Amino acid sequence: MSVVPEEVRRMAALARIRLDDGEVLGLVEDLNRILEHVDVLREVATGGDGEAGPSVAEGMGTRGAEADHRDPLEAPLAEFAPDFREGFFVVPRLPGLEVDE
pLDDT in tens, 5-35: 999 999 999 999 999 999 999 999 999 999 9
Q: Check if the beta carbon of residue 100 is closer than 8 Å to that of residue 93.
A: no
Q: Which domain holds residue 24?
A: 5-42
Number of domains in the chain: 1
Residue 51 lies in a domain: no
Put simply, whether the predicted model's pTM sits higher than 0.85 gets the answer: no
Residue 89 lies in a domain: no
Residue 56 lies in a domain: no
Please report, for the domain that includes residue 29, its CATH number: 1.10.20
Split at pLDDT 50, 70, 90, the class of 78 is: confident
3-state helix, strand, coil in the chain (%, to 5): 50, 5, 45
Q: What is the mean pLDDT of residues 43-56?
A: 61
Backbone angles phi, psi at 83, to 5 degrees: -145, 120
Residues ≥6 apart with Cβ < 8 Å to 80:
72
Q: What is the pLDDT of residue 101?
A: 59
Higher pLDDT, 48 or 78: 78
Residue 38 lies in a domain: yes
Report the alpha-carbon angle 93-97-101, nearest 5: 95
Split at pLDDT 50, 70, 90, the class of 49 is: low
Arithmetic mean of pLDDT over the chain: 81
